[in-house]
Amino acid sequence: MAASPDLRVAGVPRQRHPLGHEPVRRRPGRLPSFCLPGLSGCAVEPVGRAEARWMAAQRELVADLCDGSADAQTLASVFARVHDAWHRQSLPAPPEPLIALFGLAVGDLLTRRVPGLGWVLVSDDHVGELALTHARAQVAVFPLSAVAERWRSGRADWLPAYLEQVVAAVRSEVDTTL
């Protein structure tokens, strides 16, 4: 990397979600980080152009931070470094943009490991969040919420285990619907 993780991450908090809200803002407990079966009572829409552009920009940041290799172990290591740099700031910026960045990266890892899993925008009472749903199973995964729930601890050891748990649960659900 040309710049230190601290400098690259410093620009991330200024990014906004294209629809004007932070993608992790929601009523606590309304949309869990993982739910089976599906999303009763929620509106599910395809990711629009604005979200797609925002997601592409986030993916570029992740690729830079991970030196082009965003596997689970690398992402966990970068998560720990970035969280540590954020935590050491005397007045840390709001963590939501960093949470969104890592949530998107976690979701992308899941989509690569589970065919049929894809990004959508889920909203409940006018509050939206990026999520993953499966084409053939009633399942919803909220990777941004998963990162948000674990942000305070700063520990990165949750990430590989979370990926394995979600992959196993989604595959199991898909297998029961075939």
> pLDDT tens digit string along 48-83?
888 899 999 999 999 999 988 789 999 999 999 999
Neighbour tally for 118: CB within 10 Å = 16
Torsion angle, CA of 160/166/170/176, rounded to 10 degrees? 100
Mean pLDDT check: name the lowest of 5-14, 91-100, 101-110, 116-125: 5-14
Mapped onto helix, strand or coil, the DSSP state of residue 153 is coil
What does 1-15 look like in DSSP terms, one character per residue? Answer: --S-HHHHHHTGGG-
Its pTM surpasses 0.85: no
pLDDT in tens, 119-157: 998 876 667 788 998 888 878 898 998 999 899 888 889
Q: What percent of the chain has pLDDT over 90?
A: 44
The vertex-55 CA angle with 75 and 13, nearest 5°, equals 70
Average of per-residue pLDDT values in the chain: 78
User: CA 73 to CA 50: how far, in whole Å?
Assistant: 30
